[in-house]
Structure 1
Amino acid sequence: MSHVHPETPPQALLRSVQAFSRTLRESSLEVARQIGCTKGALAIVRILQRRGTLQVSDIAHALRVDISVASRQVSQLVDDGLVERAVDDEDRRVRTIRLSPAGRSLAVEIADALDRRAHEVFAGWTADELRDATATLDRLTTTLARLAPEPAHDVLQPA
C-alpha cells in the first residue's frame, strides 16, 4: 500500500520556484529568438552591459557555469563580432572581455525587448506588488544561494 505524503510548505515553495525558473528560461529563450541571438549570447551581453569589462572566470561565475562553458560561449561571441578580448593594462597575463560596438548595439536591443516584455507581463501589477515580489525573490535567491554548490572550475583558465 502506497503512502502519499502531503506536500509541506517548503516543498510547495521549491516546486513553485522550479516552475517559475522553467518559465523564466522559456521566456528568455523567446526574447533571444525575437532578436536573433542565442540565450547564451543574451545572458553574456547583459552581464557585460551591466558590469563592464570582465574576465571569462567572472562571466562563468555570474552564469554559474564551468569556465570551459563560458569560454566556448565567449569565443563564439568573439567570432560573431559581439565581444572583444583585450589584454589587461595592469596585468599583461590577464585577458578581459568587453562588448564591441556591435555588442553594445545588441545590448540596447536586448534591453528594449526585455523592457517591452516586462511591461507586457506585468501590466496588471501595481508598483507595490512589483516591489513586494522583488523583495520575496531576492530573499529566495539569497536563501537558495547559500545552499547551492559553486560550479566546478577548470584548473587552467582559458583566455
Structure 2
Amino acid sequence: MGVGPRESDRPLTPTEREVWRSFTHGGWGLLAEINAAMSAHGMSQADLRVLEALGRRSELGISELAATVHMTVSTVSRQIARLIDDGIVERVERGTDGRHRFVRITDGGRDVLDDHVRVRDALIRRLVIEQVTTDEFETLGEVFRKIGAGLAQRGIGTDR
C-alpha cells in the first residue's frame, strides 16, 4: 500500500482537459436548447425527468424520486406540488406514516408526458443523432452507462 497520491488525484492532462471542455460546452449547449424548446411547450427538462421516472413506476416516494432524478427532496417536493396543481401528478393515499409521501402520474399526465417526449425526441434526433454516426451514438450510450454504473456504485442515482 503506497503513501503517494492516488491516480484519481492527478491533474487532467491537456488532452483530457480539452475533451472535458468539449463535453461540457456541447453538453450544456445541448441542455440549453432542450430546456428552451421544452419551456416553449410549457414544461421544463426537470419536469420531463420527473414524469419519465413516474411513468416507469406505478408510484414513487418523494425521496426515492429525488434520488432517481438527481435532485434534492425539497426541489422535487416543490416541483411535485406544482404538477399536482396542474393535474399531471396525484398523491397516493396510504395508511402509513404521512411523512413518507407517494405520488403517481395521472392519465392526463401521461398524455402530457407523451407530448413532451415527442418534442424532446425530435430535438435529440436533430441535435445529436443527425450529427454523429450510429456507432458514435452507440458509443456515447455505452460511455454514459459506464459512468452511471460508477455513480450507482457510490449510491448516486438508482434508476434511469
Q: Shorter-chain-normalised TM-score: which range?
A: 0.7 to 0.9
Is 1:66 equivalent to 2:80 in the alignment?
no
The residue aligned with 2:5 is none
Is 1:8 equivalent to 2:19 in the alignment?
no
Within 2, Cα distance between the matches of 1:18 and 1:141?
Answer: 17
Within 1, Cα distance between the matches of 2:32 and 2:148?
Answer: 19
Is 1:57 equivalent to 2:63 in the alignment?
yes
Is 1:78 equivalent to 2:93 in the alignment?
no
Partner SS, residue 56 of structure 2? helix
Is 1:99 equivalent to 2:105 in the alignment?
yes
Within 1, Cα distance between the matches of 2:102 and 2:145?
Answer: 29
The residue aligned with 1:135 is 142
Within 1, Cα distance between the matches of 2:47 and 2:119?
Answer: 14
Query: How large is the RMSD of aligned CA atoms in angstroms?
Result: 2.9
**Native 8 Å contact 2:38 2:119 kept in 1:** no
Note the alpha carbon deviations across 1:62-94, whole angstroms, 9 max, x for none: 222221111111111111111001124xx6224
How far off its partner does 1:146 sit?
6.9
Is 1:20 equivalent to 2:14 in the alignment?
no
Aligned residues: 144
Displacement over 4 Å in runs of 4+ = 146-151
Tell me the TM-score normalised to structure 2 length. 0.73
Note the alpha carbon deviations across 1:106-135, whole angstroms, 9 max, x for none: 111012112212222222543323212211
Unaligned runs of 5+ in 1: 1-5, 152-159
Tell me the TM-score normalised to structure 1 length. 0.74
Note the alpha carbon deviations across 1:21-74, whole angstroms, 9 max, x for none: 312321231231232123332221122123441111012112222211111111
Unaligned runs of 5+ in 2: 1-11
Partner SS, residue 123 of structure 1? helix
**Native 8 Å contact 1:35 1:109 kept in 2:** no
Partner SS, residue 98 of structure 1? strand
**Native 8 Å contact 1:83 1:100 kept in 2:** yes
Q: CA separation of 1:133/1:82 partners in 2, compared to 1, >3 Å: closer, same or farther?
A: same
The residue aligned with 1:126 is 133
